[in-house]
């Protein structure tokens, strides 16, 4: 399994680092980091996928240069949670998805430090560590746990993020910001979290997890005039979806997010 092999490599490199080893870190942009481990693992994944499915393009974070995502391709993030990895925080994952005609058909995310494996197939369901799983049934806002992303590159939309934070907080929802959108989506899919609100991510952050939420019985919606696969999205279990959808509409209104 490609994801598990990549996760095993991440685990080894992480352990070497916390045991005193050093890794090279580059700042791609303001508060946007990449390590030699990101690139090493991405290269390994691309090699494996080229043997598994020759001719299918790979759209991946560290090989991205502004091009459009192909309608049919593999979408790969070799290390979601790079900042946590750099700081020795064992909360990160490898995530990949296969899309065809613009629709995710397969999604896989593996958290190597917890040895947790999430995957989904369109029309067939969602599995967590080999067992069928689903979103939560929490319908009371004061009992809900909601993930919220605060990406630095989306800081021009900080007022929108804070408005959602305030609205959720005032309804009694518990807010979480963990640094891994891929795992946050998995957590909604398996019922650990009940909803999620993220802005200004990329397809490799959300393709696998969005499919998992849908296959786990949840709802995935885009923000503003954007499709959720672009990385602008809200997700929820079915019970809270009407409320979360209204909150999003009240906060965004007809705002275009570009």
**Is CATH 3.40.190.80 the classification given to domain 141-252?**
yes
| Long-range contacts of residues 125-132, Cβ cutoff 8 Å, at least 24 apart | 125/215, 125/216, 126/189, 126/190, 126/212, 126/215, 126/216, 128/186, 128/189, 128/190
- The list of the chain residues with pLDDT below 50 reads none
In the structure encoding, which two tokens stand for residue 25, read together? 């870190």
Rg (CA), the chain: 17
Q: Where, residue-wise, is CATH 3.30.540.10 in the chain?
A: 2-132
Q: 2-132: which CATH architecture?
A: 2-Layer Sandwich (3.30)
Q: Where, residue-wise, is CATH 3.40.190.80 in the chain?
A: 141-252
Instruction: Report strand pairing: 233-236 vs 131-132.
Output: unpaired
| pTM (whole model) above 0.85 | yes
Interval 21-55: pLDDT, tens: 888 877 766 656 678 998 999 999 999 999 999 99
The pLDDT of residue 161 is: 86
The H or E element containing residue 29 is strand 25-29
The pLDDT of residue 68 is: 87
The pLDDT of residue 149 is: 84
What is the distance between the alpha carbons of residues 249 and 239, in angstroms, rounded to a whole number? 17
The pLDDT of residue 258 is: 53
The pLDDT of residue 29 is: 62
What is the distance between the alpha carbons of residues 55 and 155, in angstroms, rounded to a whole number? 38
The pLDDT of residue 255 is: 54
Q: Are 112 and 95 in contact (CB under 8 A)?
A: no
The pLDDT of residue 257 is: 56
CB-count burial class (<10 Å; 0-12, 13-18, 19+) for 67: exposed
Q: Output helix, strand, coil percentages for the chain, rounded to the nearest 5.
A: 40, 25, 35
Question: CA–CA distance from 181 to each of 80, 177, 187, 200, 207 (Å)?
Answer: 7, 9, 10, 11, 11
């Amino acid at each position: 399994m490609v994801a598990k092999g990549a996760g095993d490599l991440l685990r080894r490199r992480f352990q070497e680092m916390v045991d005193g080893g050093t890794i090279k870190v580059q700042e791609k942009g303001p508060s946007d980091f990449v390590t030699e481990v990101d690139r090493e693992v991405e290269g390994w994944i691309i090699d494996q996928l080229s043997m598994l499915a020759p001719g299918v393009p790979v759209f991946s974070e560290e090989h991205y240069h502004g091009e459009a995502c192909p309608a049919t391709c593999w979408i790969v993030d070799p290390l979601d949670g790079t900042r946590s990895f750099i700081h020795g925080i064992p909360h990160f994952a490898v995530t990949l998805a296969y899309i065809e005609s613009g629709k995710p058909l397969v999604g896989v995310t593996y958290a190597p430090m917890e040895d947790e494996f999430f995957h989904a197939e369109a029309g067939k369901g969602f599995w967590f560590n080999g067992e069928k799983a689903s979103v939560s049934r929490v319908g009371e806002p004061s009992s809900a746990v909601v993930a919220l992303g605060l990406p630095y590159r989306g800081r021009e939309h900080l007022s929108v993020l804070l408005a959602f934070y305030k609205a959720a907080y005032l309804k009694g929802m518990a807010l979480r910001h963990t640094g891994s959108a891929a795992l946050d989506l998995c957590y909604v899919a398996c019922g650990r979290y009940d909803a999620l609100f993220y802005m200004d991510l990329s397809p490799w952050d959300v393709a696998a997890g969005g499919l998992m939420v849908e296959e786990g019985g949840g709802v995935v919606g885009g923000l503003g005039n954007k499709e959720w696969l672009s990385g602008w999205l809200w997700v929820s279990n079915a019970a809270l979806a009407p409320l979360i959808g209204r909150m999003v509409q009240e906060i965004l209104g007809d705002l275009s997010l570009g």
